[in-house]
Amino acid sequence: MFEVLITEPIAEEGIALLSQSCKVDRRPLLSPRELAATIGFYDALIVRGRTRVTEEVIEAGKRLKVIARAGAGLDNIDLKAAERKGIVVINAGESVAVAVAELTLGLMLSLARSIPQAHFSVKEGKWEKHSFVGMQLQGKTLGIIGFGRIGRALAKRALALEMKVIAFDPFIPREEALGFGVTLVPLEELLQSSDFVSIHVPLTARTKRMIGWKELSLMKPSAYLINTARGGVVDEVALAQALEEGRIAGAALDVFENEPPLNSPLLKSDRVIFTPHIGASTREAQTLASLEVAKKVLEILRGN
């Protein structure tokens, strides 16, 4: 019987599916050292975003055939070490795409209409109608950086709101994007043209701090930046400076370079809406992600 180690909470539906043909152990909060000492007994490892699957862990996985991330990002897994060992790495990107796209849309609306600020104003006993004159999304341009599953889910919803959608993704054919009603453009053009810029790329050596001072300087002073991908994609010091100087109008962030962002200069800005990395945190997405990785793990363990 195959043995599967789960180091972070996933929905019970996926665990039940795995348990039909595997021995499943749940051991939360293992340190990398503890995980390395344990992993040699398992055929599969399922994690979320907190567990660090280092080269040491992968080298110790003598029986390990698959590492599964019950979510989208894979930056907590040493992909090169896994490739060298012939270990398959999978995620559940499809399952969380709608949840992340919907949060992004919510953040976009919050920026456009100052919803959080208006809420707290009323709670403080104020009635500042003229202080919260916002803008409509209809007719505005949304620039999507990274046109994968989440970027496409967001584009579909933005187009339904009669926005113009452009995207930057060097790995997607132009014709494929046009099939979604989206025009691919160079990154520089996207930054210069968009009223909202939304980031949906994985964190890699290529994308780390890809949005820095130079890129922020290209944006309109009236534009907003939204990041629900990974915090390391944006240079937080540069973003804080751009906001302070009025180079851009505001930002909404669900992710940070260090989480929680206790020392981030962005926390001092009243032009930023913050959420605590909840992009995939819906009941539906978590259930789907658990089932998706369970099915994929079983397929790989069975040799498919």
**Each residue's pLDDT tens digit, 22-53:** 999 999 988 888 999 999 999 999 999 889 99
Can you give the pLDDT at residue 238?
97
The per-residue pLDDT for 304 is 80
* Domain edges within the chain: 2-91+283-301, 95-270
Strand (E) or helix (H) holding 253: strand 250-253
At residue 60 the predicted structure's pLDDT band, cuts being 50, 70 and 90, is very high
Q: Which residues pair with 234 in a beta bridge?
A: 211
d(CA 167, CA 63): 42
What's the confidence (pLDDT) of residue 212? 98
pLDDT at 259: 93
Asked whether this chain's domains 2-91+283-301 and 95-270 adopt the same fold, the reply is: yes
Taking the model in full, what pTM does it have? 0.91
Sequence-separated (6 or more) residues with CB below 8 Å from residue 123: none
pLDDT of residue 72: 85
Query: How far apart, in whole angstroms, are the C-alpha atoms of residue 286 and residue 52?
Result: 20
Q: What is the pLDDT of residues 218-243, one digit of tens each?
A: 999 999 999 999 999 999 999 999 99
> Is the CATH number 3.40.640.10 carried by domain 2-91+283-301?
no
So which residues are the catalytic ones?
230, 259, 277
Q: Topology of domain 95-270, per CATH?
A: Rossmann fold (3.40.50)
142-183 pLDDT tens trace: 999 999 999 999 999 999 999 999 999 999 999 999 999 999
Q: Are 182 and 155 in contact (CB under 8 A)?
A: yes
pLDDT at 129: 92
Q: What is the pLDDT of residue 93?
A: 82
Q: How far apart are CA 94 and CA 149, in angstroms?
A: 7
Kindly report the average pLDDT of the chain as a whole number.
96
Confidence at residue 209, expressed as pLDDT on a 0 to 100 scale: 96
Q: For position 157, what pLDDT does the model report?
A: 98
